[in-house]
Structure formats: structure tokens, C-alpha cells
Amino acid sequence: MNTNFPEILAPAGDSESFLAALAAGADAVYCGLKHFSARMEADNFALAELAALTALAHEEGRRVYVAMNTLLKPGDLSPAGRLLDRLARVVAPDALIFQDMALVELTRQTGFEGELHLSTLAAASPSRGMSLAAAMGIRRVVLPRELSLDEIKTVARALPPGLELEVFVHGALCYAVSGRCSWSSLLGGKSGLRGRCLQPCRRRYHRKGEFASLFSCDDLGIGVLARLLLAVPAVRAWKIEGRRKGPHFVFHTVRAYQLIRDQGHDPQARREAEDLLVLALGRPQTRYRFLGHKPRSPLAVRPHTASGLLVGMVQGGAKPHVVLREELLPGDLLRVGVEDAGGAFTIPVRRAIPKGGRLDLPRPAQGKPVFLIDRRPPELGRILRQWRERLPEPPQTPASSFCPTVPAYRPQGRASRPVAMEVWRRLPQNLGRQGEHGIWFSPGVERRFSRTLFRRLWWWLPPIIWPEEEVPYAEHLADIERLGGRRFVLGAPWQRALISARSEAWAGPFCHLANPLALAMVERLGCAGAFVSPELDAESFLALPTTSPLPLGIVQGGMLPACVARIRADAVRDGEPLTSPKGEVFWTQLHGGLFWVYPNWELDLSPYQETLRRAGYRVFATLHEWIPKTVPRKERAGLWNWEVGLV
């Protein structure tokens, strides 16, 4: 690889895809283990298998990155530490991708020698917070997919020495900002932050008499525009998303982006790259916000979304069949129907069928579309077999007796009365003297009320601050501090860089802190306290204060968002009720630079307040949000994962 060029970073969810990445010439491969991976629906790797694949990759001069990028509950620290200890000794990958800051300390304690890469799930913002990341020993930051080229350049200019960037160029898009989505967790404890996302954004939602895919995104496909990233030397990796994709996807996308990077000046090479991306069989592609002056929404109100190449429509009634628009090869995999509409099924292709030929189906599916979703052409199979023959024998994988050292417990005033905090978008006219009050901050909100309140208020920052917002946020926050504001709640740990050392900063609920080592890390960043992740279950909530180095708060009630996003379908309006096929109602609201998606029910943990107080929580926050009259309100409040558990 030309060291002046960024690496092509390929995904691998199984050994075939890993070998396809090597065969295609990927400079690096990223993958996950059987546990603690944010893509638990992929096959993922056992240690011995990954050790053999990594040895082959290193023999070829390629790098391997392992993603342990999930939220860790209090009871996860020991098993995660033992796995990391074995990973370091058996596999020795080049880097670890993580979102939970506990991994920084676990890598130190286990002696892991690879680089630390901060996952996009950590929603690293603002740019000046990158110095905090570098001080923690982080080598690379994976940027959010929502950034434009100009915003990427803004972040790059603010990087401290030794820190580099990784940018997504291709693959699936989440509707929500990565790491700022609890939608799946809200619906039953299967958390996207723990790799168990149920993809509620891919469902169809009812509005104005019909169901449509309102939150389901097309795939990101920067394509030939990726060459513009060559002008940003800090971008050291072009990342392809797709750990749940097959080897055909990996092979073709890697080849395509190699051509764009290495020969993109040649029109013929660009056309060949575009043809290869079509063969990858993803959803329709969008460049999204990459060209900031010409952004394109990846959303469209449509009956459904679907991945794969459309090859025909089912016809024939009792004798269902498809007249093919494309040639089919033995080993192809077809999906009849679409993922988000229910009733879809897959069928393998046993023989070659030419374009215009007929394929009989095993059961009726009148009118449904048929998509080619996986292709294993014979030549690719031969290439992969040749690479597999080169694999060394998997090594032995000894057990680990590692036990993490956690911070010393500091009593947090168990006997004290709980502090109630009411958090508002707009302050009520008659602000009570009892308890504490918070205000959601955006530049200019401070002009709405008397400066005599500045010292009393807690200023709550949003879950993410975009690069073009950073300067006004910094200027207005400095004014608030100058006029007496002293207490701030961060939407991300990196926002600590926007607050002076003389003020008190608490890590907020969107920092998703869930274990004592992560709490210790935000303490090192200068946080005086923390609101724990609202996704936790009762067992985790009650266990965490017993090992916390910081005073703890909890969101006890009110309107917690299912997610926040940078986009919304043009047809959707603030406060419009959107109903899933299962009867769940959601609505959206624009606040600053983010669209917040809310359920039509509130959180209420007040029946357990005394239990939580005795466990050690000091601050109990209620998040007030105006619920539009158009939204049918579910009267029964929810407990989130208190009873159902967090998977």
C-alpha cells in the first residue's frame, strides 16, 4: 500500500468474508468476537479461528482490528477483561475498536499493546474534545456518518498530534446518530449499544391512511467522490460497513474503492468501480451529506425498502414463478419479499437460469418482489479456497484468570435526602424554590430568562454537537459561565472541553455510562458526577453505586427519546403521530440541529425512588417535554428495562 494513501478497511462477519477482504486486497480488516461486539447478529469469530486468520493477514502485511464496541454493564467487566486478556495473548490484533471507556482501562490492565480506536458509537464531538481523546491514549477516531466533507476537514484541522481519523465511505446507514439510539432497547431490552438492535427504524409506520418506510435509510455510497478525502491527510482509513454481509459484498466493495483511491483519475477505472458497487447487492445508494452544499436525504416515503438487486415480480397464482430480469447462477441466494414488510423468505438457486428465464417458487407470493441478495460465483469460490488452504492451524486458547481492578468505592451520601431535578425546554413562569432545575441548552436559549437564574440552573447539552455548531456553542457557554452559570450536564464526555475547569460538569444520560471503570474515566476528564445510562435494568442500576467513584444521578421520569437524528423524511412534521404495525406510537420534534424521536409514553421509576436512594443515587431527574395534542398519549408510564432486563 502507498503510505500516502488511506487504507481500505473491510468488514468481516465470518471467515469467508475475512478471506474475501484479503483476496480483494484490503489493507485492513475489522471484525468482532462472539461476545461484546456491536454486530451480534453476525456470525463473528472464536479466538482460535481469528488467531489463524490474523496470522495470515499479518503474513500479507495487512492489519486486523477487533471491535469490542458494546456498552458494558457492571457485571461485564470481568468477562470482558478475561476476553481481552486472551485476545491480546492469542490473537494480538493491531487495534481495538471500542465505545465504552472502560475498555481504555481494561487494555492498560491486561497489557494489550495494539492501538485504541474510538468507535462511531461514541459520537465523538466536538472537535476540541479530540484532545481529551488523545490524552486517553486513543490513536484513531471513527467519525459519525452524518458529517460532510467540509465538516470532516474542520475536525481534521483541530486534531492534536498523533490522532487520526477514519471515515465511512460505504454500507448501511442508521437513521439515528450512531450511539445516540435507544429505540430497540426501549421496545424490550435488546440494545443497539450492545449489538442486539431489532432495527425498529426499518419498520413501516402508519401516517395519513397508509404504511410507509419513514425512517429506513438507503445505503451510504460515496463512490468516486471518496477521492476528495485524499485532500485530508488526517483521514487514514476509508471504512466499508457490512459485518453482516457476505463475501461477494466485501470482495466487490474493496475492489471498487481500491480503484477509486488508486486510479480514480482514470474515467475507465471509475466506471469499473461503479459497476463493482452495483454487484455488491446493497440497498439503493446515497452520498447523504458528504457534499454539504448539495446534501441528499437517504429517506424517502415509500411502501418499503429492500436490499439486493431486483430480479423480478412473483406471478402465476397457484403456480408461483418469476420471469427473470437478470441471469442467475448456481449458489445465488434470493429473497422473496422485503425485510420490513413481513412474510419474506429466502430460496437458494440450484442451477443457472438465463435472463428472461423462468424460476418456479416453492410457495405462493403473488405480486411480491424478488431480490438477489447473495452471490457466490465459482471464480470467487476458487479464490477463497486458495486463501483458506494457506490458513495456519488454529492455536490453543488458554483460559484467563484476569480480574479487573475497579476504583475504590466512595460513599455518596446514602442517608441524604434525594435531590429532585426538573429539566425543561422552556422554564415555567413560576420556578419553584424547591429542588433543582435544568434547561436544555442551545445558543441563545439563555436570553429567554433573567440572568439571576444562571447560577441556579443546570445547563443540559445536546447528545451531539455538529462541527458548524461548535463555535457558537463555545461562545455562548463562555458567556453563561461569565454571568454565573456553574453547573453543566454533558451530552458526550468530549463536551467537557467546552466547559472551563472552574465549573462543575456532570456526564449526562446520553454518555451511556454503565460501569465503574467508565465512571472513573469521565472523572479523569474532570467530571464531578454522572447520570447513568437510562438503558440499564434494575440489577445494574442497583449494583452500580456500590463501586462508583462519582456521585450518581438517574433519569427517573419524563420523556426520554428513542433516538436523535440529523434527518427526517420531508413528509413528516413535528408532532405528527407515527404508528408501527404493532401499535407503537412515536413522534418527532426538531430541537436545534437534531430531530428527536419520542414514544407516546413517559418513563416513571418513581415507585423505586426509595430503593434507588438507598442504593446510593443522589440526583433524580425528570425530563419535561411538550407532548402535542395530535399524539394519542399512552397513560400507563413505562419502566424501560427495569423489569425486562437489558440483553
pLDDT value of residue 569:
93
**One domain, residues 18 and 156:** yes
473 within domain boundaries: yes
pLDDT value of residue 258:
97
Go through 318-327 and write b for each residue having 16 or more CB atoms within 10 A of its CB, e for each that does not.
eebebebeee
Write the single-letter amino acid at 108. R
300 within domain boundaries: no
40-54, 447-461, 499-513: segment of lowest average pLDDT: 40-54
**One domain, residues 435 and 289:** no
**Which H helix or E strand runs over 608?**
none
Residues 6+ positions from 237 with CB-CB distance below 8 Å: 6, 7, 8, 9, 28, 140, 164, 165, 166, 167
Report the DSSP pairing between strands 140-142 and 210-212: unpaired
> How many CB atoms neighbour CB 109 within 10 A?
15
Question: Using an 8 Å Cβ cutoff, are 31 and 12 in contact?
Answer: yes
pLDDT, mean of residues 196-213 = 90
pLDDT, mean of residues 606-625 = 96
pLDDT confidence tier of residue 240, bands split at 50, 70 and 90: very high
Question: Using an 8 Å Cβ cutoff, are 221 and 252 in contact?
Answer: no
Enclosing domain of residue 178: 7-197+220-245+285-293
633 within domain boundaries: no
pLDDT digits (tens, 9 = 90+) for 368-382: 999 998 887 788 999
**One domain, residues 26 and 169:** yes
Question: 579 is written with which cell numbers?
Answer: 404508528
CA distance to 77, 227, 257, 270, 388, per residue, from 264 (Å): 46, 7, 9, 6, 31
Which neighbouring-strand residues pair with 347?
334
Question: 250 is written with which cell numbers?
Answer: 466485501
The C-alpha atoms of residue 150 and residue 266 are separated, in whole angstroms, by 25
Range list of β-strands (E), 575-637: 578-579, 585-591, 594-599, 603-604, 619-623
Look at residue 415 and tell me whether its pLDDT is greater than 50: no
**One domain, residues 33 and 174:** yes
Full-prediction pTM beyond 0.85? Answer: yes
Question: Using an 8 Å Cβ cutoff, are 394 and 54 in contact?
Answer: no
Rounded to a whole number of angstroms, the distance between the first and last alpha carbons of the chain is 41
The pLDDT mean for the chain works out to: 93
Look at residue 416 and tell me whether its pLDDT is greater than 90: no
The C-alpha atoms of residue 470 and residue 124 are separated, in whole angstroms, by 13
60 within domain boundaries: yes
Dihedrals phi, psi of 185, to nearest 5 degrees: -65, -40
599 within domain boundaries: yes
Look at residue 243 and tell me whether its pLDDT is greater than 50: yes
The C-alpha atoms of residue 351 and residue 332 are separated, in whole angstroms, by 9
Question: Using an 8 Å Cβ cutoff, are 503 and 485 in contact?
Answer: yes
pLDDT confidence tier of residue 221, bands split at 50, 70 and 90: very high
40 within domain boundaries: yes
pLDDT, mean of residues 620-625 = 97
Q: What is the DSSP string of 527-551?
A: -SEEEPPTT--HHHHHHGGGG-SS-
**One domain, residues 289 and 430:** no
pLDDT value of residue 279:
81
Q: What is the DSSP string of 193-257?
A: GGT----GGGS-EEETTEEE-SSPPPEEE-GGGGGGGGG-TTEEEEEE--TTS-HHHHHHHHHHH
The C-alpha atoms of residue 522 and residue 493 are separated, in whole angstroms, by 7
User: Is it true that the peptide bond before 509 is cis, omega within 30 degrees of 0?
Assistant: no
**Angle value at C-alpha 614, between 438 and 536, nearest 5 degrees:** 65
Question: Using an 8 Å Cβ cutoff, are 169 and 158 in contact?
Answer: no
CATH number at residue 190: 3.20.20.70
The C-alpha atoms of residue 641 and residue 647 are separated, in whole angstroms, by 9
Total structural domains in the chain?
2
Number of H helices, E strands in the chain: 14, 31
pLDDT digits (tens, 9 = 90+) for 39-94: 656 667 999 999 999 999 999 999 999 999 999 999 999 999 999 999 999 999 99
pLDDT, mean of residues 95-108 = 97
Which neighbouring-strand residues pair with 599?
586
367 within domain boundaries: no
